[in-house]
Each structure stands twice: as C-alpha cells, then as structure tokens.
Amino acid sequence: MHSKEQISHDDYQKTAEWLMSRTKHRPQVSIICGSGLGRLADSLSCRDQFSYSEIPGFPQSTVQGHAGCLVFGELKGRSCVCMQGRFHMYEGHSLLKTTFPIRVFKLMGVQTLVVTNAAGSLADHLHPGDIMIIKDHINIPGLAGLNPLHGPNDDKFGPRFPAMSSCYDRGLRSLALEVTKQLDIAGLVQEGVYAMVGGPNFETIAEARMLHRLGVDAVGMSTVPEVVVATHCGMQVFGLSLITNKVVKSYEDSDCVNHDGVLEVGRLRSETVQQLVTEVISRMEINNNIDRTSSAV
Ligand SMILES: O=P(O)(O)O[C@H]1O[C@H](CO)[C@@H](O)[C@H]1O
Ligand code: HPA
C-alpha cells in the first residue's frame, strides 16, 4: 500500500510551471500513448519535447514500447500534450505517482484526456487489430483497495467521493463512432468495457474466464488510475483500446501472449489509431476561456 505517500499541490504546480516556462504551447488536450502507440506523437506539428528524466517530479518509464518523452505540439490547430510512455503500477510506482502527469496537465489548463492502451480481448467479437472505444471500466485493483485517490483528499482538485458512472464522455464516444464511419473503419471499431488488472503477468485461464463472466470485453494493466484522477479533477475523458491479442480462455488453446506481439500489433495499427484520435480531437468542442496554473483548479 502506498496510501501514506503524498504529493502536495505545490509539487504539481512546480512541474506545471517548469513546463509552461519552457514551451509556448498551452495544451487543451492531453494524450497518453499505450504500448506500441508512441507514434501518435508524430502527428503533432511545431513540437517541443522533454525527456521524462529532465522534468521535475516525473517518474521514469521502464517498459519497452514506452519512450519516456513528453511532446507538446499542435494537432490540426489544436494544442496538445502527448505522453510517449505511461507509468504502470507493476513498474513499482505508487498509483499517485503513475497519475502525477494528469494533475500537472490540469494545472496547465488541459480539459480533455485521451487515453489509449493495448489490451487483450475477452469478447468473441473483438479481434487483434480491432479498436475498442471504452464505454466503462472495472477497476480490479481499486475494488481490492488500491486507488490513486486514497489518502487525504485535495479539495482543490476534486471531491472526496467522485462519481465514476459517466467517466467516459458520452458525447466524445458518439463523435468517435461518427468519425469511424467517415474514415471507413467502422467495421474495426466497437464500444466495450475495459478492466484493469495489476500485472505484470498476463492472465491465467481461470482469471480470463472470471473477467469474461464479469462482462469485461478487454483487459490491460493501465488506464483506469489515469481516468479516475482525470475524472476527479473534472476533465472529460475519451479512451480507446487497441486489441492486440485474444486472451486465452480455454485449456485446449495453445496460444501464448507476449509483449513483443502486443507491440507488433501496435505498430501495425498505429496509423489507424492516429487517424481516429486526430479526427476526434480536431472535432471536439473546447472551452478556450481557461485559467492556467495557480487558478486552474
Ligand atoms: O496499457 P498499455 O500501457 O498500453 O500496455 C499494455 O501492454 C503491456 C503488456 O504487453 C501492459 O503494460 C499492458 O497494460
Ligand atoms: O492480454 C492482456 N492482458 C493484460 N494486459 C494486456 N495488454 C495487452 N494485452 C494484454
């Protein structure tokens, strides 16, 4: 448990100010790249980028396929900040640390979080290479007592007991479904429920069957803490999972998932995910009258 760890409002503020003094960009949207999806940042123009190791307070990325670079830039005229590499609980970071960038982005004036991930499919209708728009999640570590919001609540960010019943913005989900028709990729895309497990091992067959019975369509080891913290501080969230593998649910099945295979599907579908994310971001409504840093929350 890491519930005694605390990060002060000042710590988030210092990082936000450090970044804002080094880039002219004032992002409205933040994007988190999932495993193998780091090339999403390539679509940004007029880039400023920082290695996580130089940013005060940032944890380090340790997972292959997560470059560890924060990229600012414009996507079709919209100012964005993109995390090329996220932090996972299984790397040994506390959940508060894995979600550190979200509150920094909030203080910088970001209103929308776009999360992407690589995930294994439990649903018969989702195949490797398909994209799942996340409509809801099951927070397995959270249900077991591991939540980034544990510990004293910082009321400046949000309430002690935040609702999570509509954390994946309905308007953005409909917009994304609309965009898939225009991009002619509707056949690849479905909505579904994501579950976060702690990792780093992939699921046993019994665990996979349990998740399937619980109504989970795709499983991964990330995303949910980021979404919980973003929702707590009032950001709207759009999430998508790239299905990189089928989760083995049968003792007769000899398939075996591995991280290289996950990254490979990421590389193959990176461009499609990039197109979808770009179109959704360019068409979403944004409030331009936003205070930044000290008065942002
Ligand atoms: O969720 P992202 O970061 O996309 O990565 C997914 O891929 C890795 C396993 O291959 C795990 O980290 C899992 O969570
Ligand atoms: O099958 C999986 N399980 C958990 N996490 C994952 N990330 C990609 N695929 C998977």
Q: What percent of the chain has pLDDT over 70?
A: 95
Q: For residues 103 and 89, what is the distance between their CA atoms, to the nearest angstrom?
A: 17
Active site residue 21: no
- Burial environment of residue 39 by CB neighbours within 10 A (0 to 12, 13 to 18, 19 or more): middle
- 294 within a domain of the structure (yes/no): no
Average pLDDT over residues 247-272: 92
Catalytic residue among 35, 43, 79, 139: 35
Q: What is the pLDDT of residue 36?
A: 87
Asked whether residue 134 is assigned to any structural domain, the reply reads yes
The answer to which of 25-34, 56-65, 72-81 has the lowest mean pLDDT is: 56-65
Answer whether residue 147 is part of any domain: yes
Residue 293: predicted pLDDT: 58
Residue 233 has pLDDT above 50, yes or no: yes
36 CA: nearest ligand 1 atom: 4
What's the pLDDT score for residue 61? Answer: 87
Mean pLDDT of the chain: 94
Residue whose CA lies nearest to ligand 2 atom number 10? 120
- The answer to the question of residue 2 being in a domain is no
Residue 35 known to be catalytic:
yes
pLDDT > 90: what percent of the chain? 87
134 CB within 6 A, ligand 1: no
Closest C-alpha to 103, from 239, 229, 238: 229
Is a pLDDT exceeding 50 seen at residue 295? Answer: no
ipTM over the 0.90 cut-off = yes
- For residue 14, the model assigns a pLDDT of 98
Q: Which of 20, 41, 118, 230 is catalytic?
A: 118
Q: How many domains does the chain have?
A: 1
Ligand minimally distant from the alpha carbon of residue 240: 1
Q: How do residues 104-113 score in pLDDT, each as one tens digit?
A: 999 999 999 9
User: Could you give the 3-state DSSP secondary structure of residue 246?
Assistant: strand
Specify the pLDDT at position 2. 47
Q: Which CATH number belongs to the domain containing residue 182 in this structure?
A: 3.40.50.1580
Residue 295 lies in a domain: no
Q: Quick check: is 259 catalytic?
A: yes
Q: Which of 2, 207, 259, 264 is catalytic?
A: 259
Whether residue 95 lies inside any domain: the answer is yes
The pLDDT tens digits for 141-193 are 999 999 999 999 999 999 999 999 999 999 999 999 999 999 999 999 999 99
Is residue 227 within 6 Å of ligand 1 at its C-beta? no
Flag whether pLDDT at 46 surpasses 70: yes
20 found inside a domain: yes
Number of Cβ within 10 Å of residue 98's Cβ equals 21
Catalytic annotation present for 93? no
**What kind and span of H or E run contains 220?**
strand 218-220
What's the domain range around 266? 9-285
Gap between the terminal Cα atoms of the chain: 28
Task: Using the mean position of ligand 1's atoms as its centre, give its distance from the Cα of residue 92 in Å.
Answer: 15
Yes or no: say if 49 and 69 are a contact pair by the CB < 8 Å rule: yes
- Distance from the alpha carbon of residue 297 to the mean position of ligand 2, in angstroms: 34
Active site includes 8? no
**What is residue 288's predicted lDDT score, i.e. its pLDDT?**
67
Domain assignment present for 296: no
